[in-house]
Amino acid sequence: MTRLTLTLTLTAAILRRKLLQALTCGGCSLSPSRQKKPQVAIATFKPVSKSDRLGQLILDDPSESGSDGDDMEVQLSHSHTGKKSEQELEEFHRVVSMLHPDGNANADCRPEAALEIRRMAKEDADARETLAMLGAIPPLIGMLDAHLDLDLDSQITPLYALLNLAIGNDMNKAAIVEAGAVHKMLGLIRPESPPEVYNPLSEAIVANFLSLSALDANKQIIGSSGAVPFLIKSLRQNKNCRLDALRALFNLSIVAANSQHLIEAGIIDTLLTAIGDMEVTDHALATLSNLVASSAEARQHLSRANDSIPILIDVLGWTDAPSCQEKSAYILMVMAHKSHADRAAMCEAGISGALLELTLIGTPLAQKRASRILEMMRSKKGKEISESSFAVSAPMAMEGKGKAKVEEVAGEMSDEKIAVKQLVQQSLHCNMRRIARRANLPEEIMPVEHLNKVLAVSSTSKSLPF
């Protein structure tokens, strides 16, 4: 029995080896004499026999491929994923149905459903989209009615549920505003409420306004809704949400149509007061930049505000806050470009030294803006002197006294220019010494001649490229 088994095993091994040789070598014969002759034609047109099929099956050993197991695993995975998605969808349907008071659940379940939606939408973008498509937004906004007898948590929960639904989803942002959420939120604000009620509600509402105002289509709607005074009040009084309120105001200031609402609510004075607090100064200057660039009324209010020019000039010296320097330089550049009175106020406040320092040790953008302000102040002054000379000489010439008076005025202007030039040179020397000491540099490293080259930047454009 053992010999028979061994014989069958050897026979099978030999057969397998021969079949493999036949498959790999093109059907060569078992005879040694025939192996010397190429069998190209026979190998090319050799029909597939049962032995070749057996060899193919031997080569395709399922125990080595493992493909059947992988397919089964993929099928099980897809089945599990589909089942999980169906379960999640059913859960979403159940929670949204709890928000409707005329559904299977009563109104007492709505705060619980809002809390569940807040949890689901917090970190899941697909859940936000699905819940909105199932109709979660309108009933959540319906819970914001001021006449509803709900406790503080039941009022705050739908606010944060709406906030989470709007995260990173512009469609939901637009749908929330279109459903009337802005006026409902403002209706919840009651100044007579105690701080423990007013502050948490206002913080949740400010967070929603910040999120909703990020969408361009919502900016003008929120700006004209009466939300601006509430945001300014929150900026002034509530330390927990003042940065969010300021960022929301910045979003609204991007749209020029909101400038009037912002100015009437007193935003200029509020922003000037905020400058100096490093937590909010950068955003305050950014908002102010938007206002002065788009509104002449904003520039007028800023010019009339107490100490506005000195405050902005002081920011130019904040070497540890380069972003604030750039924004302050932009505001001053716009004001200097638009108004002679503002340029005169800047000169009286001593802006030249700060600008000279900024052209040397500021960021590239701050240097460009500071140089542009200095250029405008010099060119505008020369132009105004020329216009003043012409305005004085023309009537006098008409009266027959023109020639002598023109020569006299021209002589006076010449003397004035000489005096101004001397004063400028003295100021340059003093400022250079002070700047060198401040930067801990030898004075000879930055000679006045180099500074004159910096200030001699020429430009024929009256626009503000920086």
HSE-CB at 360 with a 13 A cutoff on CA atoms is: 26
**DSSP-assigned states of every residue in 401-414:** -HHHHHHHHHHHHH
Q: What is the mean pLDDT of residues 109-119?
A: 91
Q: What does the alpha-carbon distance between residue 254 and residue 223 come to, in Å, rounded to a whole number?
A: 11
Is 299:263 a contact under the CB 8 Å cutoff?
no
Q: Which two tokens mark 374?
A: 């200095």
The proportion of the chain whose per-residue pLDDT surpasses 70, expressed as a percent, equals: 61
How does residue 87 score in pLDDT terms, banded at 50, 70 and 90? Answer: confident
Q: What does the alpha-carbon distance between residue 385 and residue 243 come to, in Å, rounded to a whole number?
A: 46
In this structure, the number of other CB atoms found within 10 A of the CB of residue 111 comes to 20
Q: What is the mean pLDDT of residues 309-313?
A: 95
Phi, psi torsion values for 180, nearest 5 degrees: 90, 25
Q: Which two tokens mark 254?
A: 């991007």
Q: What does the alpha-carbon distance between residue 127 and residue 120 come to, in Å, rounded to a whole number?
A: 6
Total count of residues recorded for the chain: 466
Q: Which two tokens mark 246?
A: 């300021």
> What confidence tens digit (pLDDT) does each residue in 383-433 have?
554 444 434 333 333 334 443 433 344 444 455 455 545 555 666 666 666
Instruction: With a cut of 70, say whether residue 61 has pLDDT above it.
Output: no
Q: Average pLDDT of the chain?
A: 75
CA distances from 319 to 187, 279, 360, 435 (A): 45, 16, 12, 12
User: Tokens 């520039």 identify what position?
Assistant: 299
pLDDT of residue 460: 41
- For residue 268, the SS3 value is helix
Q: What does the alpha-carbon distance between residue 90 and residue 457 come to, in Å, rounded to a whole number?
A: 69
What contacts 226, CB < 8 A, 6 or more positions away? 186
Is 301:335 a contact under the CB 8 Å cutoff?
no
Q: What does the alpha-carbon distance between residue 97 and residue 251 come to, in Å, rounded to a whole number?
A: 35
Q: What does the alpha-carbon distance between residue 96 and residue 116 come to, in Å, rounded to a whole number?
A: 10
Q: Which two tokens mark 436?
A: 């060198």
What contacts 141, CB < 8 A, 6 or more positions away? 158, 162, 176, 179, 180, 181, 184
Instruction: With a cut of 50, say whether residue 68 has pLDDT above it.
Output: no
In this structure, the number of other CB atoms found within 10 A of the CB of residue 229 comes to 15
Q: What is the mean pLDDT of residues 239-266?
A: 95
Which one-letter amino acid corresponds to residue 94? R
In this structure, the number of other CB atoms found within 10 A of the CB of residue 320 comes to 8
